[in-house]
């Protein structure tokens, strides 16, 4: 199914909430997206697709992101990803669901497996009443085997003994364990992961943890959780520093050129203006121009913590 076809389903389908993701820092729900024509979603033969629904009313205020909404940034990142041709952010739409306006993103891992492992407590996972965000019996441990938010990050980031030289892995930093021992954090030297690092620099991602990278049912790597992005100030915080200072891949330079062209006119600026402030859009153009000029992966910004915590 093409990206626009998925967006059409996300925007026009009806939602059946199956579980709340209790390990998420803001309200998030695993939902079935059903054809709007179904009068009774409970009797539908099966969902068009699964998604993660994040209502704006369930967002916790952030001191360093005082304006706008996380849901708007989620959608803006998808639009930017699509305009550049990266194809790294799952299709994401702004919709009105059972808890009001919010973002709805395609679920890229095996949702049925997650629900089976969680026991799918339907009686507790029914659509929440207006004004309520209720637990559904799903906890973090149930989702770690493939959930959208927890994800399996073993093939993305590894904790190694300091001094380990593992082919195909790039060292990022050395840290201290609770017992006082040292650990080396490294990430995979993967071309799609490298392109994600470029996209993160474009959107100024302030929270690229390993668990925010998923291997989907299609075996591709996907970047999720883009609510704290696109700030006008430099806030890049990521575990993907293994390529810092290195030349950008030619394919990503082409994507940057494509995005720069899309930002100069046409539909993209208008759509972003509905989601972001003028200052944030100006800063976005500036980051794209800087990357095109330097043609290198950025280095950590001075005076700002370069790593998310926890990194996994």
Average pLDDT over residues 177-187: 87
Which of 158-167, 170-179, 211-220, 273-282 tops mean pLDDT?
Answer: 273-282
Nearest Cα to 95, choosing from 31, 11, 28? 11
Q: Is the pLDDT of residue 167 over 50?
A: yes
Rounded-to-integer distance, Cα 248 and Cα 294, Å? 9
Rounded-to-integer distance, Cα 111 and Cα 278, Å? 37
- Whether a cis peptide bond, with omega within 30° of 0, leads into 243 is no
pLDDT tens, residue by residue, 24-64:
889 999 999 997 755 455 555 456 799 999 999 999 888 78
pLDDT value of position 66: 81
Helix-strand-coil percent breakdown of the chain, rounded to 5?
A: 30, 20, 50
Average pLDDT across the chain, whole number: 85
Rounded-to-integer distance, Cα 217 and Cα 253, Å? 28
Average pLDDT over residues 187-194: 96
Residue 136 pLDDT grade (very low, low, confident, very high; cuts 50, 70, 90): very low
Predicted TM-score of the model (pTM) = 0.85
Average pLDDT over residues 57-76: 90
Q: Is the pLDDT of residue 148 over 90?
A: no
Residue 178 pLDDT grade (very low, low, confident, very high; cuts 50, 70, 90): confident
**C-beta separation of 81 from 26 below 8 A:** no
Residue 159 bridge partners (DSSP) = 185
pLDDT value of position 226: 97
pLDDT value of position 35: 79
pLDDT value of position 203: 98
Rounded-to-integer distance, Cα 118 and Cα 23, Å? 14
Average pLDDT over residues 7-30: 92
Q: Is the pLDDT of residue 113 over 50?
A: yes
pLDDT value of position 180: 84
- Residue with the bigger pLDDT between 95 and 185: it is 95
Share of the chain above pLDDT 70, in %: 85
Per DSSP, the three-state class of 92 is: strand
pLDDT value of position 126: 34
Q: List CB contacts of 18: < 8 A, sequence separation 6 or more.
A: 29, 30, 31, 32, 50, 111, 115, 120, 122, 125
Q: Is the pLDDT of residue 152 over 80?
A: no
Among the residue ranges 11-15, 128-132, 229-233, 255-259, the one predicted with the least confidence is: 128-132
Q: Is the pLDDT of residue 283 over 50?
A: yes
Residue 138 pLDDT grade (very low, low, confident, very high; cuts 50, 70, 90): very low
Q: Is the pLDDT of residue 128 over 70?
A: no
């Amino acid at each position: 199914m093409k990206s626009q076809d998925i967006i059409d389903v996300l925007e026009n389908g009806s939602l059946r909430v199956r579980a709340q993701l209790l390990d998420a820092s803001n309200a998030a729900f695993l939902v079935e997206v059903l054809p709007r024509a179904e009068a009774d979603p409970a009797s539908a033969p099966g969902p068009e697709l699964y998604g993660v629904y994040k209502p704006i009313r369930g967002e916790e205020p952030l001191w360093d992101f005082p304006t706008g909404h996380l849901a708007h940034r989620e959608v803006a990142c998808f639009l930017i990803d699509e305009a550049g041709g990266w194809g790294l952010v799952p299709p994401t739409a702004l919709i009105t669901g059972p808890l009001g306006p919010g973002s709805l993103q395609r679920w890229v891992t095996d949702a049925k497996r997650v629900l089976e492992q969680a026991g799918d407590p339907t009686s507790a996972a029914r659509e929440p009443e207006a004004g309520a965000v209720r637990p559904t019996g799903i906890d973090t441990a149930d989702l770690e085997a493939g959930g959208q938010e927890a994800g399996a990050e073993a093939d993305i980031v590894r904790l190694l003994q300091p001094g380990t030289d593992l082919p195909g892995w790039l060292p990022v930093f050395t840290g201290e364990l609770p017992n006082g021992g040292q650990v080396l954090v490294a990430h995979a030297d993967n071309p799609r992961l490298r392109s994600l690092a470029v996209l993160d620099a474009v959107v100024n991602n302030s929270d690229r943890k390993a668990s925010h990278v998923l291997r989907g049912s299609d075996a591709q790597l996907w970047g999720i959780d883009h609510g704290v992005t696109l700030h006008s100030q430099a806030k890049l915080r990521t575990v993907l520093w293994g390529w810092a200072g290195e030349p950008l891949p030619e394919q990503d330079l082409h994507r940057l050129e494509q995005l720069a062209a899309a930002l100069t006119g046409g539909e993209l600026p208008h759509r972003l203006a509905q989601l972001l402030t003028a200052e944030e859009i100006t800063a976005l153009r500036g980051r794209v121009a800087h990357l095109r000029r330097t043609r290198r992966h950025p280095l950590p910004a001075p005076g700002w913590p370069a790593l998310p915590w926890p990194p996994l």
